[in-house]
Amino acid sequence: MLGTPQGTLQAILMGAEMRRGRVRLELPLVGENGHSVPMTVRVDSPMSEADYVRRIDLVSEKNPVPLMATFFLGPHMGRAEVESRVRLNGTQRVTAVAQLSDGSFWFDAADIVVNESACLDGG
């Protein structure tokens, strides 16, 4: 089930709904090289003890392992923003799902054209 993006999302949501908004996923429109693509995710959250982002999951549509990373955040961070570099196996849509401290799920998705794939499946 975790081998598909849909199964991965289902395992994260466990039956809950996710709504679009509050999350902003930034990827370049075109990635020349899928081996290393800059990625920033931010969530509109006060990051206070009462209202913070609990986790952010990054799900790839085309990678052999759809779940690329999970970030566990908390009120001590002050700002809900994480940047990293990801591997992408071809042109695809990437989804970032954030769970807030009230349990609600929010997401954003970004489409990226990858010219040279990271060839994660040995191709």
97 forms beta bridges with 57, 107
Residue 113's region, left for phi above 0, alpha for psi from -120 to 50, else beta, is: beta
Maximum separation of any 2 CA atoms in the chain, in Å: 47
Minimum Å distance from CB 89 to other proteins? 9
Under a CB-based contact definition with an 8 Å cutoff, are residues 79 and 71 in contact?
no
Question: Site residues (CB under 8 A) for other proteins?
Answer: 35-37, 47, 58, 60, 63-65, 67-79, 81-88, 118-122
Report the alpha-carbon distance of residue 87 to residue 102 in Å, rounded: 31
Give the type of residue at 96: A
Report the alpha-carbon distance of residue 105 to residue 101 in Å, rounded: 10
Minimum Å distance from CB 1 to other proteins? 16
Minimum Å distance from CB 84 to other proteins? 5
Minimum Å distance from CB 92 to other proteins? 11
Which CB, 63 or 99, lies closer to other proteins?
63
